[in-house]
Amino acid sequence: MEQKEVSQDATAANYTQKGYGELIIYALIFISLVAAIFAFNIMLSNKSREDTLRIYCATHQQRSWQKALKSLEQARIALFTMAPTEKPFQEFSKSINSFDLYLTTLVNGGQITINDNEVIGGKRGVNAENTVGESKTVTVKPPEDPAMLEVINELNTVWEAGKNDMLKLSSEVAEGKIDTLLIERMLEYTVREDDSVLDACQEFIVKLGQQSDARGIELQSFQVASLILSLIVFIAMLFRSTVALKNRDKVINERTAEVIRQRDTIAEEKVLVQNLLADLQNTQAQLVHSEKMASLGQMVAGLAHEVNTPLGFVKNNVEVIERNHGIFSQAIEENQKLVKKLTDGDVDDLQEQLFKVMEVSEPINSFNLIEKTRHRIDESIMGLDRISELIINLKNFSRLDEAEAKTAQINECIDSSLIIAKNVVKHRAEVEKDYDPNAVAECFPAQLNQVFLNLITNAAQAIEVDSSENGVSERKVGKIIITTAIENDFVLIKFQDNGKGISPENLKRVFEPFFTTKPVGEGTGLGLAIVMKIIEHHGGKITVKSGVGKGTVFEVRIPKKLSEKHKFEVDYQIL
């Protein structure tokens, strides 16, 4: 009997040792999975940050190119009109050097200094470190993706063709030297390569957005697979523990010790799961940031289109004015010769000179070139005013310098958002506005601008512009009605469209994160979820009504005055 008990104890001990060994293996597998998730998240976080810096460089590079072209054209006009040239030349020198810095940084890698979303300087070959105040130096690495490398190298090839002369011109005008031939040659170069440069910048930004989307999908798949495998390991651990407990029923002390050990193990696993949940929240923040970059890329592409249109006819008008200038110059020259003959009393060939004057003046009078030139100048000024208005509205839309709540005109915020969304809306819908002039609220204007831009864009995209009736294709323009009103202590903003509407089963899910009915690659499903988050942070409410084939109405209500707990709350998840 005693020998049997010893045998049972030995068997239990062996089983216990075996169980401990298996549990340790399971624990190591589980810890390895968690460590892999952390490592993968850190890697993707670094990649996302690198993509963010590249998009920052690409957008500022595009902006610097456009400023340089505009400033050079203004400087040339100023030269011909004897107007001051110092300011446009200074702007040109600053912009073209910024363009060279951003492009060189994207191609070879390097460092830029950022302060309040404006690059104030740049240096290469030094480790990144924070500077005084809110300025900091960050390292930008060249892209690794072959497609993006090809785009940026093509842009660099275009730039290398005129780089030396452009930088030479920048240096000369900074020293007060003016080489008109070099200015004309560089202006011809910038106009000729303008579309290539802008297209390359836009394509680079779009590819970065696509890469961020693919990285987000890859991260989700990896996390789901890791969680499933972790759950399997965890279940296996529990099952093995249960079996071990059943085989130690006769060894009370060992069974009690095992129960205690299992309890401690579960507590440790709970901590690991909590850490994993925290990591998932960080990952969500990264995905929201990717959504921001994609939206930024689409917005920049639309703005570039809107700027290029007036810029195109300004360029054409300047070319016509330049041609007419040659005709005027010839007429003035011949008239001066005639005046000189009359002044000197030289009557030889006087009649022949008079005929020359009449001959060169005939096109000016018959074609009314003076009035037409004045009209071309007026058109060019109008085009430049349109570009200036677009930039002002963009500044009003972003409001990057406003980190705290302020009293804002809601109608102005909506108008700024409409300007930014113009490229999406103009071919799909007509916008009707019914504004209450008293629609004023204490808010975070930049956040509300993002809400309005999202709702306007969704309304436009919901309108199907192409339809077919009786086999005949026809293009229809929809309608978007925007209304503001005062309801007691709230401001009501209503966005109504006559688009295709939302089905009942999808209507109750529109504010869920990652829910979207758009094709893969066209939407992440975060837009309306972030809209709701912004409205909630303002202490407001958003509702939606929709019918298939009838359109959709979004109603936003925000308080006219923020409560104390919302006044200094800034949501980091804003796109």
**Cβ contacts of residue 110 below 8 Å, gap of 6+?**
104, 122, 123, 124, 125, 139, 140
Rounded-to-integer distance, Cα 566 and Cα 348, Å: 90
Dmax of the chain from CA atoms? Answer: 151
What DSSP state is assigned to residue 555? E
Closest CA to 537 of 455, 450, 454: 450
CA distances from 42 to 178, 221, 282 (A): 52, 16, 10
Rounded-to-integer distance, Cα 511 and Cα 528, Å: 5
The dihedral through the CA atoms of 270, 274, 279, 280 has a sign that is positive
Question: Computed over its alpha carbons, how large is the radius of gyration of the chain?
Answer: 34
For residue 230 the two structure tokens come to 């972790």
Give the burial string for 545-564 (b: 16+ CB within 10 Å, else e): ebeeeebbbbbbbbbbebee
Rounded-to-integer distance, Cα 493 and Cα 540, Å: 11
Q: Are 92 and 68 in contact, with CB atoms under 8 Å apart?
A: yes
**pLDDT for position 250:** 67
What DSSP state is assigned to residue 81? T
pLDDT tens, residue order, the chain (575 aa): 444 444 545 555 565 566 567 667 767 777 877 787 778 778 777 777 877 888 888 888 888 888 888 888 888 888 888 888 888 888 888 888 888 888 888 888 888 877 644 443 344 333 333 444 467 788 888 887 888 888 888 888 888 888 888 888 888 887 878 888 888 888 888 888 888 888 888 887 887 777 777 777 877 787 788 778 777 877 877 776 676 666 666 667 777 788 888 888 898 888 888 888 887 777 766 665 565 555 556 566 666 656 776 777 677 778 888 888 888 888 888 888 878 878 877 777 777 888 888 888 888 888 888 888 888 888 788 778 767 766 765 665 555 445 578 899 999 999 988 887 888 888 889 999 999 999 999 998 888 888 998 899 889 988 887 655 555 445 567 899 999 999 999 999 999 999 999 998 988 888 888 777 766 555 666 788 888 888 998 999 999 999 998 999 999 999 999 887 655 544 433 33
Rounded-to-integer distance, Cα 407 and Cα 489, Å: 14
To 10 degrees, the CA torsion angle through 31, 35, 41, 46? 170
For residue 17 the two structure tokens come to 């040792």
Closest CA to 544 of 499, 572, 569, 511: 511
Closest CA to 217 of 529, 523, 562: 523
For residue 66 the two structure tokens come to 């456009």
Strand partners, 122: 112
Q: Are 542 and 531 in contact, with CB atoms under 8 Å apart?
A: yes
Give the burial string for 388-421 (b: 16+ CB within 10 Å, else e): eebeebbebbbbeeeeebeebbbbbbbbbbbbbb
Residue 197, burial from CB neighbour count under 10 angstroms (0-12, 13-18, 19+) = buried
**Cβ contacts of residue 354 below 8 Å, gap of 6+?**
338
**pLDDT for position 541:** 94
CA distances from 254 to 2, 5, 15, 21, 260 (A): 19, 15, 12, 16, 10
**pLDDT for position 483:** 96
**pLDDT for position 15:** 56
Q: Are 457 and 419 in contact, with CB atoms under 8 Å apart?
A: no
**pLDDT for position 434:** 95
Closest CA to 573 of 382, 292, 156, 368: 292
For residue 457 the two structure tokens come to 């864009």
For residue 87 the two structure tokens come to 């300011």
Q: What predicted TM-score, i.e. pTM, was given to this entire model?
A: 0.41
Q: Are 234 and 268 in contact, with CB atoms under 8 Å apart?
A: no
**pLDDT for position 551:** 92
Return the amino acid letter for 391: I
Q: Are 150 and 61 in contact, with CB atoms under 8 Å apart?
A: no
CA distances from 258 to 23, 28, 29, 241, 466 (A): 12, 19, 21, 8, 70
**Cβ contacts of residue 263 below 8 Å, gap of 6+?**
none
Rounded-to-integer distance, Cα 411 and Cα 423, Å: 20
**pLDDT for position 247:** 66
Other C-beta atoms closer than 10 Å to the C-beta of 210 total 16
CA distances from 243 to 16, 246, 335, 428 (A): 10, 5, 113, 66
Closest CA to 377 of 320, 330, 328: 320
What DSSP state is assigned to residue 31? H
Closest CA to 199 of 124, 305, 279: 305
The pairing of strands 478-487 and 429-434 is parallel
CA angle 273, 231, 515 (to 5 degrees): 75
Q: Which strands make up the sheet holding 429-434, listed edge to edge?
A: 429-434, 478-487, 490-497, 551-559, 541-547
Q: Are 487 and 537 in contact, with CB atoms under 8 Å apart?
A: no
SS3 call for 128: coil
Rounded-to-integer distance, Cα 318 and Cα 321, Å: 5
User: How far is C-alpha 489 from the chain's CA centre?
Assistant: 34
Rounded-to-integer distance, Cα 384 and Cα 307, Å: 9
